[in-house]
Structure 1
Amino acid sequence: MQQTEKKNIRTIIFDLGAVLIDWNPRHLYRQLFSSEEEMETFLREVCTSDWNEAQDEGRTLAEGTHLLVNSFPHHEENIRAFYGRWSEMLGGEITGTKEILQQLKRSGRYHLYALTNWSDETFPIAWELYESLHWFDGIVVSGKEKMRKPAPAFFQLLLDRYNVDASTSLFIDDNLRNVIAAREFGIDSILFENPEQLRIALENRSIII
């Protein structure tokens, strides 16, 4: 396969959810709904991504839950399960990505950071569960900082905090919106699809062999 243009990459920035950590509300809600159709309707219309991202941006879990219960009282039990049973949405570390991260860590060639949209109230649960989170040189959590991707200020916060040069950095995220924002910010980026695709993309950049 033809290699992409080589750059002097010194820093690699990972997203976490659905890249390194298998977080998916469907792991929980498949236990609570009798059909995929009912579950998907609930996640599309009630516990939406936009609603969850408000917690990722610093709104408290209690406030977010209260607002949604008031709007959809007939869904109260399932709404409260979102954060009340949040740990059941975790499917573990994504093995292939963990292996890539470990290889990068062992090489000693790169600074490794994470930039994640994640509630400051739930992130400590994952921190206690998953050893791979402790391999990063630093993690910036949106809920703690009260800002989130794709805001340019959130990328800038990581660069400033850890003295990172955007031009020698690579960003990995499963959300196209965030990848586009990073590229516009001047950070080379990979849209994550699966660990095998990520490995090929890193090999094409001569980052791993």
Structure 2
Amino acid sequence: MSEIRHIVFDIGKVLIHYDPNLPFRRLIPDDGERAAFFSTVCTHEWNLEQDRGRRWDEAEAVLIAEHPDKEELIRSFRRHWAEMVPHAYDATVEILEELIADGRDVTMLTNFASDTFAEAKEMFPFLKKPRGVTVSGDVKLIKPDQAIYRLHADTFGLTPSATLFVDDSAPNVEGARAAGWNAVLYSDSATFRADLVRYGVL
């Protein structure tokens, strides 16, 4: 096992909670109707294009043209975004801050729209503590595209074999491994801490 010199964090569902149901339980109280809305209107695939760099006004226009009766609900996705990220995962943030305090090289690689990430940094100031971040919406690439891992490594001078990445998405973890990184799937802070011990980081 190579010595780990760089630790790269995903953000959503690793450092901060994310759940679009939170505001929409109020806006669409019926569970079935809400599930149908997320499976046919504001889908994961639609939202991923904002992570890839599409502007919200363009994204909303596409859906409103297809679902004019849902205009207010479509606009509510961005309007109530802050409610979707209600808190940090304190135990994982503690690990991040511990690594930085120990002098470890910590960066972040995230699928995130540019404007909502700017908001997230103000809501969660610890996101400003790592050495840097690659935001998919800024670079117009998304995980698990190999190009975003290469870009992150080049931007921050990371040696792939000496890099450990943590993400809550199995495809993103596999993408990192395909790029030559070490990578672990996040489930909870205790498991992640054990992973760091196993890799000799803690």
TM range (shorter): over 0.9
3-state secondary structure, aligned to 1:140: strand
1:158-192 deviation line (CA, Å, top 9, x unaligned): 11111110010001111111111111111110111
1:1-209 aligned at under 5 Å gives the runs 6-108=1-103, 110-208=104-202
Would the aligned equivalents of 1:13 and 1:170 in 2 still touch at CA under 8 Å? yes
Deviation at 1:35, TM superposition (A): 2.7
Q: Distance in 2 between matches of 1:198 and 1:69?
A: 41
Would the aligned equivalents of 1:61 and 1:121 in 2 still touch at CA under 8 Å? no
Would the aligned equivalents of 1:57 and 1:146 in 2 still touch at CA under 8 Å? yes
Q: Distance in 1 between matches of 2:32 and 2:42?
A: 15
State the match for 1:3 in structure 2.
none
TM-score (norm 2): 0.96
Structure 1 gaps, min length 5: 1-5
Amino acid paired to 1:125: E
Q: Distance in 1 between matches of 2:99 and 2:2?
A: 16
Q: Distance in 1 between matches of 2:36 and 2:44?
A: 12
Q: Distance in 2 between matches of 1:34 and 1:67?
A: 25
Would the aligned equivalents of 2:5 and 2:162 in 1 still touch at CA under 8 Å? yes
Q: Distance in 1 between matches of 2:197 and 2:121?
A: 29
Deviating beyond 3 angstroms after TM superposition, the runs of 4 or more aligned structure 1 residues are none
3-state secondary structure, aligned to 2:114: coil
Q: Distance in 1 between matches of 2:178 and 2:105?
A: 22
Deviates more, 1:194-203 or 1:45-54: 194-203
Aligned length: 202
Pick closer, same or farther for the CA change 1:185–1:32 going to 2, 3 Å.
Answer: same
Would the aligned equivalents of 2:12 and 2:18 in 1 still touch at CA under 8 Å? yes
Amino acid paired to 1:57: R
Would the aligned equivalents of 2:42 and 2:74 in 1 still touch at CA under 8 Å? yes
TM-score (norm 1): 0.93
CA RMSD of aligned residues (A): 1.2
1:71-130 deviation line (CA, Å, top 9, x unaligned): 11222211110001111111121111111111111111x210101111112111011111
